[in-house]
Amino acid sequence: MALTQAEVREIGLIARLNLEDGAIEGLQEELNQILTYVEHMQELDLEGVAPTAYSTDFTDSLRDDVRVPSLPREAVLMNAPESKEGAFLVPRIKALGIEDSREDTAGGGS
């Protein structure tokens, strides 16, 4: 099942990647190469085989319900591209096509 260029664009959108027009064809070819290779799996008869998500016999490991210190706020924010007053700054969020008309929203961004 070969991927079309439209599908490559669609996956790019889902993955939140801004793919240049010039890159689509190359990616299409490479992704199809990989998917063709992966098809070898289908040779195996896997009828009735249960899937394995974790390789070890993993059991939930719960910690004691005690409060422990978390990272200090400075450490959390020190790598933020933009922050202000102890918070991350993000651009305005347009929801459902309804544009926020206020000029100065919190976290107006760049």
**Closest separation between CB of residue 89 and other proteins, Å?**
8
Q: Is 14 in the site for other proteins (CB under 8 A)?
A: yes
**Closest separation between CB of residue 34 and other proteins, Å?**
6
Q: Segment 53-72, which members bind other proteins (CB under 8 A)?
A: 53-56, 58, 60-61, 63, 71
Q: Is 87 in the site for other proteins (CB under 8 A)?
A: no
**Closest separation between CB of residue 102 and other proteins, Å?**
15
| SS3 annotation, the chain | CCCCHHHHHHHHHHCCCCCCHHHHHHHHHHHHHHHHHHHHHHHCCCCCCCCCCCCCCCCCCCCCCCCCCCCCHHHHHCCCCCEECCEECCCCCCECCECCCCCCCCCCCC
